[in-house]
Structure formats: structure tokens, C-alpha cells
Amino acid sequence: MNMQTDNQYTLLRLLTEAQKHEVACICVSNGFDDPYGQFDVLAGFGEKTSFHSPEAISDTASLKMGFCSYDYKNKLEDLTSQHAQGVPIPDFYFFEPQFYYKKKREKGVHESNFSLPESVPFPQKKALAQFVCSTPRNQYLQNVEHIRECIKNGDFYEMNYCLQFESSTCLNPYALFAELNRTAPAPFATFFKYQDKFLLCSSPERFLAKRKNTLIAQPIKGTRKRQEDSAADLKVKEALSGSVKDRAENIMIVDLLRNDLSRVCHPGTVVVPELCKVYSFSHVHQMISTVTGEIKPDTGFSDIVRASFPMGSMTGAPKIQVMKDIERFEDFSRGWYSGCLGYWENGDFDLNVVIRSLQLDTAADKMFYHVGGAITFDSIPEDEYNECLQKAAGLMQALKNQEASNL
């Protein structure tokens, strides 16, 4: 059994365990190369203790897993959210798990304080999940033109503008995540269960990691759809690599992150070891940069969150002003989407960016997903809309596969 097949089998067993608990978190890296990653698989089940602020976490050493929703920005800055969340969740929630499973990258070492159950079939509803966008296509195109006008007037330089899609049918979250992870494997894939609310995330993006005294951020800006023909796919990848527009978007966010990290790092240590490198995933090519810095002494988790959250790749620049305008153009509250999710242990942490994700409310029988992209003055509304749909391709394929398996 190869590593990927072994990890998929382990995931099914962990999803089986998750059904027994009100709170659960499963993180899988799907075999992607990552010099900063520590785990192939990390999972926690059951709430021993909960934490509702970054300050509360910094005083302990044991494993914590959890999330920071996009709306936590309102506690960090003079900001508000007027729209309702599709799936209501706390702004900040981490938990110390009662049971944990760790598979480290180093030699695949396993560590667990419980016995994994054998996997069981996850029954799926015999229903179709039809999604409706809260913003009609023509309204989206008009809004992009309005955003471009704001940029022209100097209100901001770039905005990450997003759409919300809703379905009144909620599929089985355990079966759906297993299929999503098979269809669209990603290096920061995460399953999170919070009572009857679920986040199924196939994220390719790291928000922020801490390794000893080093902070690492890896923003994504620039996306192209994969092609079935290998020669055509290579051309698409090369076109993204050479795109002046995408490089400009990426570099703008890199500059923002350099500024964010400089608030908590030693002067002169914030560097960009990798700029605008194109990586390939199951359905898209993405342009990724890496920013690192050496942390000042006595800098806590809360200091780092305050300096850097939310991530610039999901807001735009300048960050505070553009977040105010996002509230004006979007007709929903992002909630989990554009937040971060991951783990904290012994002072180190690794947090993803919550994108390429499905949010499920099993009690309300609803599902949501969100997509978005960076709007600059050079943006073409039709192209931006098509890029949004490309980003959702992995989610939509997983849904189609689940529905086909029920016929």
C-alpha cells in the first residue's frame, strides 16, 4: 500500500472516529512537498478544554486545534459585519482534544492516545445539491466595474471580492469530505466538526506558520485552470508564470505581508525566499510566494494574530480600508471562509487559509461555498467571474461524484 493510499485509508478511519464526537478536527497534507510542514496527518477529537482568544492559548503547551473566522477582524480593528453568516460559528475557537492522532513527516512516525476504529460506510442522501449564488452574474460584473472605479479614485489598490453559493440540501459531511479529498487533494486539507456545523476544506494555501523563532507566510495570487492535454497544460502554466497582471497582484500582497510580519519580527529579517513560483494542484495552477521573518523576543500568539490577521491575500490593500469596502460590496458574512484553521503546539503553529471549502449546517439542512479573486484596475469582469468558477471546480466535481454514487 503506497503512502497516499495508506493516508486515505487512515482518513476514512479518522472520519469514522469523528462521528462519535461533537468537536473534531482532521488535517491532511496529501503527500505534497512542504519544507515547513510537520505532519502528514494530524487529528483531534472531543473537547477537553476550549479557548476563545489567542491570549488564552499562549499560556499552555499541549496540542490545540481550531479556527479563527474572518469576522474576528472586528475584534482586532474598528470594523463591523452587518450581514448574517450562512453557518453561524464563534469568531474564535480552539480546543485541546481528548484524543489525538499524529503522523509526522519524519519517517511517518505515528503517535496516538486511542485506537483507531475500522472505517464504516457513510450513508449519503439520495438528493441533488443545487447551488444558487446570492449575487447574480450581472450584479457581480457591475460590482467589479465599481471596484475598479474605486481603485481609480484611490480608495484602495486591490480588493479580494467574493461570491457565496447556497444549497438547501445538505449532504453527508463525512462521505463528502472523503470524496473531496480524493477528487481535489490539497496540502492544507481540513475537516472540522463543531457540533452540527461542518467545514470541509481543500485549501492549497498556508496563512502563517511558526517554527521556533521563524514565521512563514505563503500567499497565493494568480490562478489558471488545468488542461487535460499535457502540452496545453504546460502552456497554461507558463502563461501564468509570465503574467504581468498576476505577478503584480502577488507582489502587492507580498509587500503587505512583509509589512505585517515586520510588526513582530526583528528589523532586516523579513525576506522573500520564493517569489511568484507556480505550483500545480488537481484542478488549477497557482502562483505562490514565501515570506519569512525572525520573531522578536516575548512575542506571543496573540501579538502575531493581531499583526497579521486576516491574511492580505483574502482582503487586498490597504487592508483596513479595503475590509470596510468589502462589507459594502459583498452581501453575506464570510464566517469560516477567509479565516484560518490549524493547530498550535508548544509555541509553534500552522494555519491554513480557508478557501476551496464547503460549509454545512446539518441542523438547518443547508450548504454553502464561496469563491473570490483579487480585483485590480486591470481586471476584466468576465475573466474574474470565470476564474471564480474555475476555483470551485474541485468542490463541484466532488459533489457530482457523490450524487452519481447514489444513483
Ordered DSSP codes for 50-98: EE-SHHHHTT--S-EEEEE-GGGHHHHSS----SPBSS---SEEEEEEE
- Banded model confidence at residue 407, pLDDT cuts 50, 70, 90: very low
pLDDT per residue as tens digits for the range 266-282 = 999 999 999 999 999 98
User: Long-range contacts for 327-330 (Cβ within 8 Å, ≥24 apart)?
Assistant: 327/79, 327/80, 327/81, 327/82, 327/83, 329/143, 329/146, 329/147, 329/159, 329/161, 330/83, 330/135, 330/161, 330/162, 330/164
Choosing among 3.30.1360.170, 3.40.50.300, 3.40.50.2300, 3.60.120.10, the CATH entry for 3-405 is 3.60.120.10
| Rounded Cα distance, 56 and 223, in Å | 37
Among the listed residues 170, 179, 173, 188, the one whose alpha carbon sits nearest the alpha carbon of residue 395:
179
How do beta strands 366-375 and 206-211 pair?
unpaired
Among the listed residues 170, 164, 169, 167, the one whose alpha carbon sits nearest the alpha carbon of residue 136:
164
Q: Is 205 a catalytic residue?
A: yes
Looking at residue 266, the DSSP 8-state letter turns out to be -
pLDDT score of 176 more than 60:
yes
Among the listed residues 222, 247, 250, 385, the one whose alpha carbon sits nearest the alpha carbon of residue 317:
250
CB atoms within 10 A of CB 297: 6
| Rounded Cα distance, 333 and 279, in Å | 30
Element (H, E) at 112: strand 110-112
- Banded model confidence at residue 58, pLDDT cuts 50, 70, 90: confident
Q: Which three cell numbers stand for residue 391?
A: 476555483
Vertex 122 angle, CA 119 and 185, to 5° = 80
Q: Is 384 a catalytic residue?
A: no
pLDDT averaged over the chain?
A: 92
| Rounded Cα distance, 203 and 32, in Å | 12
Phi/psi of residue 277, nearest 5 degrees: -85, 140
pLDDT per residue as tens digits for the range 328-376 = 999 999 999 999 999 999 999 999 999 999 999 999 999 999 999 999 9
pLDDT score of 394 more than 80:
no
Among the listed residues 342, 336, 374, 330, the one whose alpha carbon sits nearest the alpha carbon of residue 358:
336
pLDDT per residue as tens digits for the range 12-48 = 999 999 999 999 999 999 989 899 999 999 999 999 9
Catalytic residue among 47, 96, 179, 205: 205
- Banded model confidence at residue 142, pLDDT cuts 50, 70, 90: very high
In this prediction, residue 125 carries a pLDDT of 65
**43 and 100 in contact (C-beta within 8 Å)?**
yes
| Rounded Cα distance, 51 and 64, in Å | 9
Q: Which three cell numbers stand for residue 308?
A: 497579521
Q: Which three cell numbers stand for residue 202?
A: 481543500
Torsion angle defined by CA atoms of residues 190, 53, 315 and 35, in that order, rounded to the nearest 10 degrees = -50
Phi/psi of residue 174, nearest 5 degrees: -70, -50
Q: Identify the burial level of 364 via C-beta atoms within 10 angstroms of its C-beta, where 0-12 means exposed, 13-18 middle and 19 or more buried.
A: middle
